[in-house]
Amino acid sequence: MTTADHDVLASWSRINSRLTAHTRGGRARPACDAARLDAFEADLGLPLPADLRAWWLLPDVTESHWIPGEFAPVSLDEALETHEIWLLVAEQEGDSFDANGQPESRYLREYMPIALSPGGDGLIVDLRPGDTHGAVLLWDHETWILDVPRWISVTSMLQDITQALEVGAPGLPSSAAVGGSREPSSVTVAVIPARG
Each residue's pLDDT tens digit, 17-73: 888 877 666 788 888 989 999 999 999 998 899 999 999 999 889 888 888 888 999
pLDDT at 102: 60
CA distance 52 to 39: 15
For residue 192, name the pLDDT band (cuts at 50, 70, 90).
Answer: very low
| 193 within domain boundaries | no
Domain-embedded: residue 182? yes
Q: Is residue 16 part of a domain?
A: yes
pTM for this prediction: 0.84
Average pLDDT over residues 166-179: 63
Q: Which domain holds residue 110?
A: 3-186
- pLDDT value of position 142: 86
Residue 67, helix vs strand vs coil:
strand
The CA–CA distances, whole Å, from 20 to 24, 62, 130, 162, 195 equal 7, 10, 37, 14, 19
Q: Domain of 80: which CATH number? A: 3.40.1580.10
pLDDT confidence of 98, banded at 50, 70, 90?
A: low
d(CA 106, CA 173): 27
Residue 46 contacts residue 111 (beta carbons within 8 Å) = no
The residues facing 116 across adjacent strands are 72, 122
Report the number of distinct structural domains present in the chain.
1
